[in-house]
Amino acid sequence: MKKNKIIATAPMTVAQKIIAAHLVEGDSAKDSELGIRIDQTLTQDATGTMAYLQFESMGKKHVMNDLAVSYVDHNTVQIGFENADDHDFLASIAKKYGIIYSKAGNGICHQLHLERFGKPGTTLLGSDSHTPTGGGIGQIAIGAGGIDIAVAMAGGAFHIPAPKICGIRLKGCLRQGVSAKDVILKVLEKFGTKGNVGWIFEYFGPGVATLDVPSRATIANMGAELGVTTSVFPSDETTRQFLAAQGRAKDWTEIVADKGAKYDNIFEVDLSELEPLAAAPHSPGNIVTVKSLAGMKVNQIMIGSCTNSSYRDIRTVARILNGKHVADDVEVGIACGSRQVIKMLVEDGSLAILHAAGCRMLENACGFCIGAHMSPSTNAVSLRTNNRNFEGRSGTKSAKVYLVSPETAAASALNGVVTVCEKAEKVPAPAKFPIVDDMFLYRETAGKGVPKTKIVRGPNIAKVPAGVAMKDSFKAKVAIKVGDKITTDHIMPAGARLKFRSNVPEYSKYVFEPCDRNFHDNCLANVKCGFANVIVAGESYGQGSSREHAALCPMYLGVKAVVAKSIERIHRANLINFGIVPFVFANPADYDKLEPGFEFTFEGMRKAIEGDGEIEVDGIKLKTSLSGREKEIILKGGLLAWLS
């Protein structure tokens, strides 16, 4: 793919520099959509099988981008054959097409990628919404649906809205007991989980130098909860030291904002003034102080996830628990981010401390974070260091999940009640990390692949359903009406249902399971009577994950349009990729006029999409703002159909 020549006419921010160096379509000064070249891709197992099925259908001999890594971290401890089938499929695909394969048990994709592969100044596209973790070392790392990753692996560009840059100016230095998690919770308190679509959050200012790489990665990771395109830190001396300690000094380049670089908005955080914060149930944007919760009884504490599972985090917990024992009536589980982290904890004695303190050591995988295990008991209070506390995501609908820092989690574990951590000495950045790469397979054939490899397809690996071209006129029915902030966990539940990710007909049975158990049957009944289906929603529809199944399975059930007050970035892109029109109400009050069963007659749908995106249906004005490329994709019935 051709690279545009960069002519720097004005001082640039870090994000602007990296985007300019990767721009292949559009002009950030004129166009609303930009195409960027993708250097690295990552997938995880729960989204990966679909991504690779889609990549396969593109007919390439091997991956075309610089580096592709396939991680297995979501569905690792299986009941039944389905996940194991997925792993075999993923391993064989990786071997055939030149993808590095990270076996189950190696660790969590974002932590591993940061440790072993992420490079400052490059672009990374991942089929997981927390891919922006790479922003911690100065990568433009973006989460997207699996099919977008497939296109990038096939050498295609990725499209982003021309970004507005919000500068987060950090000054001062964190006090003991306060850490990176509290910084991102502060940013979430200010900006919330909606209304940030199209922004990149870039961290700058004197406070940046006081944060080590794992802390920066925590902040960039949980920027996903803001709904932004990505978050990024400069690549500086701290980044160089981190990469050198990983034996990757050669991967470092300095990338800092130019003097006089302009941000579209600036928010200042004085690190010295921050106090421990928590996100209260059921939203990462529902921020309270830990002080205000102090003394509340806690039933369960889970430490880990891609947000807080680095050596720095778990070593901090070990230091707080050293020589002590967790309270009798609290269950404490710890999941490290990688085998490198585990090795370090073994070698410095931390694992013995955690063992003696009565912690349950869990597998170094997503596990509890996605409700794959460790669901709390009925009505329990669970303190967790992960990034999402949507209702029911833990696997227990009545549980109250609070998101906190490792420091708060550890101090509370000792007392069995929410406790403000007063003392937690800084863990120095290691001068050298042990390299534990033996669970990365097919490194030697990366990029080229082994073409004669036979792909292993168990019965759980089903075909990707094909989209159908958009009709000009059709009848449709409202199949469901939901409220504000509906997450992809509501639309396409994970946890116990994750194992059906490679089998769309089966997984489709669970669409909207937490909201309406009859959604699947109603949709099919409507289709049988000649109606397409429409989803009606409030503000910020599709928050959370990158899972394209939240669009793919509704497409399979005949959904042709979502009509919402607003739609979040990754989900909007996924809807388009699967031929579903992402409409918003021209007049949000019209939301009140629609109820399940309401019948629409769409006349001139194709014309509306080709034109200005506006259509009036039975007295209700709907609009959608689509780029030329997006219009073509929807008219064809989705990205796969458009590509073929």
Q: Out of 36, 174, 494, 620, point to the residue binding ligand MIC (CB under 6 A).
A: 494
Cβ-proximal residues to 227 (8 Å cutoff; 6+ apart), any chain: 193, 194, 195, 196, 197, 540, 543, 568, 569
350 phi and psi angles, rounded to 5 deg: -65, -40
The entry of ligand SF4, ligand MIC, none that residue 108 binds, CB within 5 to 8 Å by partner kind: ligand SF4
Pattern of binders to ligand SF4 over 79-108, x per CB under 6 A?
A: -----------------------------x
> Would you state the structure tokens that stand for residue 601, as one six-digit string?
């007659």
Residue 38, phi-psi category: left (phi > 0), alpha (psi -120 to 50), beta (remainder):
beta
Alpha helices in 154-263 (DSSP H): 180-191, 213-222, 237-245
Q: Out of 22, 95, 130, 485, point to the residue binding ligand SF4 (CB under 6 A).
A: 130
The entry of ligand SF4, ligand MIC, none that residue 409 binds, CB within 5 to 8 Å by partner kind: none
Q: Out of 39, 115, 128, 489, point to the residue binding ligand SF4 (CB under 6 A).
A: 128
Tell me if 46 contacts ligand MIC by CB under 6 A. Answer: yes
CB of 494 to ligand SF4, least distance (A): 8
3-class secondary structure per residue, 234-273: CECHHHHHHHHHCCCHHHCCCECCCCCCCCCEEEEEEHHH
In whole angstroms, what is the distance from residue 237 CA to residue 254 CA?
A: 8
Pick 39 or 128: Cβ nearer ligand SF4: 128
Q: Out of 229, 545, 566, 624, point to the residue binding ligand MIC (CB under 6 A).
A: 545
Nearest to 271, CA basis, from 182, 203, 204: 182
Pick 128 or 212: Cβ nearer ligand MIC: 128
CB of 264 to ligand MIC, least distance (A): 26
Tell me if 547 contacts ligand MIC by CB under 6 A. Answer: yes
Binding window for ligand SF4 (CB under 6 A); candidates: 23-31, 365-373, 392-400, 478-486: 365-373
Tell me if 186 contacts ligand MIC by CB under 6 A. Answer: no
Binding window for ligand MIC (CB under 6 A); candidates: 158-166, 293-301, 418-426, 541-549: 541-549
- The residues in 70-109 that bind ligand MIC, with binding defined as CB under 6 A, are 74
Q: Out of 366, 557, 561, 581, point to the residue binding ligand SF4 (CB under 6 A).
A: 366
In whole angstroms, what is the distance from residue 321 CA to residue 106 CA?
A: 26
- The residues in 356-395 that bind ligand MIC, with binding defined as CB under 6 A, are 370
Residue 533, phi-psi category: left (phi > 0), alpha (psi -120 to 50), beta (remainder):
beta
Pick 43 or 387: Cβ nearer ligand SF4: 387
Tell me if 363 contacts ligand SF4 by CB under 6 A. Answer: no
Its sign, for the CA torsion 506, 507, 511, 517, is positive
Judged by CB under 6 A, the number of residues near ligand SF4 is 11
CB of 143 to ligand SF4, least distance (A): 9
Beta bridge partners of 536: 481, 563
Alpha helices in 23-140 (DSSP H): 45-56, 82-97, 109-116
Binding window for ligand SF4 (CB under 6 A); candidates: 172-180, 282-290, 364-372, 546-554: 364-372
In whole angstroms, what is the distance from residue 98 CA to residue 52 CA?
A: 12
Collapsed DSSP state (helix, strand, coil) of residue 186: helix
602 phi and psi angles, rounded to 5 deg: -85, 120
The per-residue DSSP string of 384-399 comes to E-SS---TTTTS-TT-
**DSSP percent split of the chain into helix, strand, coil, nearest 5:** 35, 20, 45
- The residues in 110-139 that bind ligand MIC, with binding defined as CB under 6 A, are 128-130
Pattern of binders to ligand SF4 over 177-216, x per CB under 6 A?
A: ----------------------------------------
Pattern of binders to ligand MIC over 47-66, x per CB under 6 A?
A: x-------------------
3-class secondary structure per residue, 476-509: EEEEEECCCCCEHHHHCCCHHHHHHCCCHHHHHH
Tell me if 386 contacts ligand SF4 by CB under 6 A. Answer: yes
Q: Out of 51, 255, 369, 567, point to the residue binding ligand SF4 (CB under 6 A).
A: 369
Tell me if 394 contacts ligand SF4 by CB under 6 A. Answer: no
Q: Please, what's the b/e burial string for 376-386 (b: 16 or more CB within 10 A of its CB; e: otherwise)?
A: beeebbbbbbb
287 phi and psi angles, rounded to 5 deg: -90, 135
Cβ-proximal residues to 267 (8 Å cutoff; 6+ apart), any chain: 166, 167, 168, 169, 187, 190, 191
Binding window for ligand SF4 (CB under 6 A); candidates: 362-370, 452-460, 498-506, 558-566: 362-370
Q: Where are the beta strands (DSSP E) in 153-235?
A: 158-161, 164-171, 199-204, 230-232
For 388, other C-beta atoms within 10 Å of its C-beta total 28
Q: Out of 307, 394, 546, 624, point to the residue binding ligand MIC (CB under 6 A).
A: 546
Tell me if 220 contacts ligand MIC by CB under 6 A. Answer: no
Judged by CB under 6 A, the number of residues near ligand MIC is 13
The entry of ligand MIC, ligand SF4, none that residue 139 binds, CB within 5 to 8 Å by partner kind: none
Q: Out of 76, 92, 305, 503, point to the residue binding ligand SF4 (CB under 6 A).
A: 305
Pick 47 or 350: Cβ nearer ligand MIC: 47
The site for ligand MIC (CB under 6 A) is made up of: 46-47, 74, 128-130, 143, 370, 494, 544-547
The site for ligand SF4 (CB under 6 A) is made up of: 74, 108, 128, 130, 305-306, 366, 369-370, 386-387
